[in-house]
A and B are shown apart, each in its own frame.
Chain A
């Protein structure tokens, strides 16, 4: 019994960390600019494919893990500056639709370049195998992913709470007009904020492609759970997204073990319960976006 549950709990937590990661990127962009980025999954997939191309061209996995998210950030910022910026002052439905259109285009373009089916992309040998902890084996790849995701979240938290720029970002989320009046370049804030979201998506994309299988729809499959996680955790709360993500990951893996038919529904049930008891989400702020 235990030998079944422990690995499944562990896998659930790793999956949940992915959800949290994507949800944090989404929340960052949503909180500052009111943009629901439906193309977030497409950028995630892009990073995966870029890493795949880099590795197949002979680059090492480690270099690709660094470079692919950076390239994704560059592409993302170009898209943001050219297409999304004109919509910041308009009704949020427009940026929602624009990013929806972008995700349609991206999915088809990935299909054209890399083919409609999944491509084999695996982590280097060092990460294969497992680490024995006496009573069971932990797969090294998942441990590594968990480590990278945790480190990146700590880095993000330090950036937001321990740097001057992070302070401005958080202030802008509360009142963009005021921080603009005080002489901060809000356009720069928007850009860096979007870049942060892209970096998170990129990192998650490269790591996920080794785990979930790299295909044109990989990112979009992570997008919906990420939205649910953001709702459960509470919009605008980094900590909430992490807790929500781990909770959802855990719920999915445990349900898969005992009631496999319900594993996709369980997170929506969780969401419905949270909405009934605490509509703002577990750690959400009252009043933010109604």
Chain B
């Protein structure tokens, strides 16, 4: 449907323009200052959005319950922090080294994760994520241990030109990175590779019958996801100029998964919508009360019970429902009703999956 596609492009352009004008001042106030928000909150929102997108690639598109992406996020932050602290690298090098470290982390852990699917995969990601947590925690003469490590933010630039990043320019740089990642993500998801990942979510066995080695596809998806989370982590480290073991913790992983679900799993824009709700909600609630963790927890519970498709997912689903009668491709329906892909959660589904496993 060309019409729908046009709406998508217009929506994307409007969102980016909105994000770009948010920090601008109108008179002496910007929209942000009226909401008592800092520009760095917006940067945080974009970076958490990228991290949630990395979960989305695995969970929303490939159907793999990843509960350990904070490990890559934290590796990115430590990669940037350690290289800046010990090797005196510049901004771009720090960000790239952080991403590379996270990528290597994925390369190390991936072969183990590939051995299992379903909730077992979730347990493995949880457990392997903790390995990096304990390494950061234990290597305290190198990483600062439990207290974490702070480092300074180097100049941003290339040989011959550089500039000092303050909060607003940092935000615009993040917006640029975010737009690039979003575009990349969109291209990946629409590529034959991305289609195969979605096919794996719907029925991995059939994909194998078609002669495709699903393990290879999943491994690449894991690596892409680790790289994305690592990039987000490295930039987040550069934003707050700090890296701590808690960034690698499974509770942080849970936050990323939740951000993705809040917005809508298996949708391109879902993670950033979720990140908007989560980061700004957390910022507002944590200034009002000490016990913000209760409210975040309650948000999770309510979202899971009442809006399992997430905000954007619910909206898209409603649109798809309204369009019934109009020609909707199979693919679009599958895309918009994310949960249909994974019936392994139901007792019957699990039994069928087990039976199919035996046959293979």
Q: Which B residue's beta carbon lies closest to that of A26?
A: B123
Q: Given A101-B299, A108-B294, A268-B130: A94 and B308 within 8 A (CB)?
A: yes
Contact B294 A279 (CB under 8 A): no
Q: Which residues of B contact A88 (CB under 8 A)?
A: 347
Residue B112 at the chain A interface, CB threshold 8 Å:
yes
Contact A276 B112 (CB under 8 A): yes
Q: Which residues of B contact A83 (CB under 8 A)?
A: 301, 305
Q: Which residues of A contact B257 (CB under 8 A)?
A: 93, 97
- Report how far A112 CA is from B121 CA in the complex, Å: 35
- Report how far A100 CA is from B296 CA in the complex, Å: 11
Contact A90 B119 (CB under 8 A): no
- Report how far A108 CA is from B130 CA in the complex, Å: 22
A36 to chain B, nearest CB (A): 6
- Report how far A287 CA is from B351 CA in the complex, Å: 10
Q: Which residues of B contact A89 (CB under 8 A)?
A: 345-346
Residue A289 at the chain B interface, CB threshold 8 Å:
yes
Chain A 74-104 residues near chain B, CB threshold 8 A: 83, 86-94, 96-98, 100-104
Contact B116 A97 (CB under 8 A): no
Contact B300 A98 (CB under 8 A): yes
Q: Given A91-B339, A224-B250, A287-B354: A36 and B119 within 8 A (CB)?
A: yes
Contact A112 B291 (CB under 8 A): yes
Residue B258 at the chain A interface, CB threshold 8 Å:
yes
Q: Given A98-B305, A101-B304: A92 and B127 within 8 A (CB)?
A: no
Residue B120 at the chain A interface, CB threshold 8 Å:
yes
- Report how far A99 CA is from B256 CA in the complex, Å: 15
- Report how far A84 CA is from B221 CA in the complex, Å: 31
Contact B122 A96 (CB under 8 A): yes
- Report how far A100 CA is from B254 CA in the complex, Å: 7
Binding stretch for chain B, among A140-148, A156-164, A203-211, A226-234: A226-234
- Report how far A115 CA is from B184 CA in the complex, Å: 47
Which of A87, A97, A262 neighbours the largest number of chain B CB atoms within 10 Å of its CB? A97
Looking at chain B's contact residues, the main secondary structure is helix
A267 to chain B, nearest CB (A): 9
Q: Which residues of A contact B65 (CB under 8 A)?
A: 92-93, 96
Q: Which B residue's beta carbon lies closest to that of A94?
A: B304
Residue A235 at the chain B interface, CB threshold 8 Å:
yes
B329 to chain A, nearest CB (A): 23
Contact B122 A290 (CB under 8 A): no
Q: Which residues of B contact A87 (CB under 8 A)?
A: 304-305
Q: Given A83-B301, A93-B59, A228-B127: A275 and B115 within 8 A (CB)?
A: yes
Contact A289 B261 (CB under 8 A): no
Convert A90-129 into 0s and 1s, putting 1 for each residue whose CB lies closer than 8 angstroms to a CB of B. 1111101110111111111101100000000000000000
Q: Given A92-B345, A227-B123, A275-B112: A97 and B291 within 8 A (CB)?
A: no
Q: Which residues of A contact B130 (CB under 8 A)?
A: 224, 268
Residue B131 at the chain A interface, CB threshold 8 Å:
yes
Find A268's partner among B118, B131, B254, B296 (CB 8 Å cutoff).
Answer: B131
A221 to chain B, nearest CB (A): 11
Contact B294 A290 (CB under 8 A): no
Convert A132-158 into 0s and 1s, putting 1 for each residue whose CB lies closer than 8 angstroms to a CB of B. 000000000000000000000000000
Residue A30 at the chain B interface, CB threshold 8 Å:
yes
Binding site for A on B (CB under 8 A): 59, 65, 67, 112, 115-124, 126-128, 130-131, 134-135, 137-138, 250-251, 254, 257-258, 261, 291, 293-294, 296-301, 304-305, 308, 339, 342, 344-348, 350-351, 353-354, 357-358
25 A–B contacts, CB within 8 A, in A order: A30-B119, A34-B350, A36-B123, A38-B254, A83-B305, A91-B345, A93-B65, A97-B261, A100-B254, A101-B300, A101-B304, A103-B297, A105-B294, A109-B294, A112-B291, A176-B347, A177-B351, A231-B124, A265-B138, A271-B127, A275-B116, A276-B112, A286-B358, A287-B358, A289-B118
Ranked 5 nearest A-B pairs via Cβ: A101-B300, A290-B117, A104-B297, A105-B297, A176-B347
